[in-house]
Amino acid sequence: MEWIVDLVGPGVAQAMQVDAILYDGRSAFQRIQVAASRLFGRMLVLDDAIQTTERDEYTYHEMLVHLPLVTHPSPRRALIIGGGDGGTLEESLKHPLQKVTMVEIDRDVVEVCRRFLPGISGAAFEDPRTRLLVEDGIAYVRTARERFDVILVDSTDPKGPGVALFSPEFYAACATLLSDDGLLVAQSGSLLYQRDLTEMVRRHLRTVFPIVGTYWAPVPAYPGVLWSFSYGSKRFDPGRVTGDTITQRLTSVQTRFYGPATHAAGLQLPALL
Ligand code: SAM
Ligand 1, residue 61: give the atom nearest the CA: 1
Angle (CA) 106 198 166, round 5° = 40
pLDDT digits (tens, 9 = 90+) for 60-83: 999 999 999 999 999 999 999 999
Report the binding-site residues: 30, 61, 85, 104, 136-137, 154-157, 161
**Residue to mutate, 153, 155, 190, 194, ligand 1, most ligand atoms under 8 Å from C-beta:** 155
Which of 96, 98, 92, 104 lies closest to 61, judged by CA? 92
Please report which helix (H) or strand (E) contains residue 79, including its range. Answer: strand 77-82
Q: Does domain 57-266 have CATH number 3.40.640.10?
A: no
Ligand 1, residue 110: give the atom nearest the CA: 14
Q: What's the sign of the alpha-carbon dihedral 55, 227, 45, 111? A: positive
CATH number of 2-53: 2.30.140.10
Report the binding-site residues for spermidine: 61, 85, 154-157
Measured in Å, residue 152 CA sits from the centre of ligand 1 at: 11
Same fold for the domain at 2-53 and the one at 57-266? no
pLDDT digits (tens, 9 = 90+) for 217-259: 999 999 999 999 999 999 999 999 999 999 999 999 999 999 9
pLDDT digits (tens, 9 = 90+) for 87-105: 999 999 999 999 999 999 9
Measured in Å, residue 72 CA sits from the centre of ligand 1 at: 24
**Choice among 47, 106, 108, 154 that is catalytic:** 154
pLDDT score for 243: 98
End-to-end CA distance of the chain: 37
Domain limits, the chain: 2-53, 57-266
pLDDT score for 271: 81
